[in-house]
């Protein structure tokens, strides 16, 4: 499977500004859908920082064929803002260049 990264648009079928429901419709049920506050202790007196992190949510999807994580998707106020790739198992093509040299 090859996924084409298009800057400022998305990665494969995943598009920036998609909602969590739209991503689930494309990729299926995530293995996790959590808040970064689950992992990051914040000082009690920093309300601005807490409000920022409370608006963030992270979805993780396993690659069921290889049991690797693929990808981690971050939402801010229910809009997709970041796609993080781990354990690259699929080609990542940008402007015709295979960035990691992975083949299908």
pLDDT tens-digit series, residues 50-63:
777 777 888 887 66
| DSSP-assigned beta bridge partners for residue 4 | 93
In a domain, 56, yes or no: yes
HEC string for 56-99: EEEEEEEECCCCEEEEEEEEECCEEEEEECCCCCCCEEECCEEC
In a domain, 104, yes or no: no
Read off the pLDDT of residues 22-36 as tens digits, 9 standing for 90 and up: 999 988 888 888 887
Euclidean distance between CA atoms 48 and 58, whole angstroms: 20
Nearest Cα neighbor of 59 from 90, 95, 19, 9 is: 19
The range of the structural domain enclosing residue 60 comes to 3-98
Number of structural domains, the chain?
1
Percent of the residues in the chain that have a pLDDT greater than 70, as a whole number: 76
In a domain, 28, yes or no: yes
Number of alpha carbons in the 13 Å side-chain half-sphere of residue 40: 14
How would you classify the pairing of strands 68-76 and 56-63? antiparallel
In a domain, 94, yes or no: yes
Euclidean distance between CA atoms 76 and 53, whole angstroms: 9
In a domain, 32, yes or no: yes
């Amino acid at each position: 499977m090859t996924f084409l990264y298009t800057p400022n648009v998305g990665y494969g079928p995943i598009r920036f500004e998609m909602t969590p429901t739209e991503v689930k419709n494309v990729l299926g049920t995530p293995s996790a859908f959590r808040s970064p506050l689950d992992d990051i202790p914040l000082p009690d007196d920093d309300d601005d920082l807490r409000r920022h992190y409370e608006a963030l949510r992270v979805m993780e999807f396993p690659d069921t064929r290889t049991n690797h994580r693929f990808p981690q998707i971050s939402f801010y106020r229910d809009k997709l803002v970041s796609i993080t790739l781990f354990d690259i198992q699929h080609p990542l093509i940008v402007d015709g260049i295979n960035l990691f040299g992975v083949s299908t």
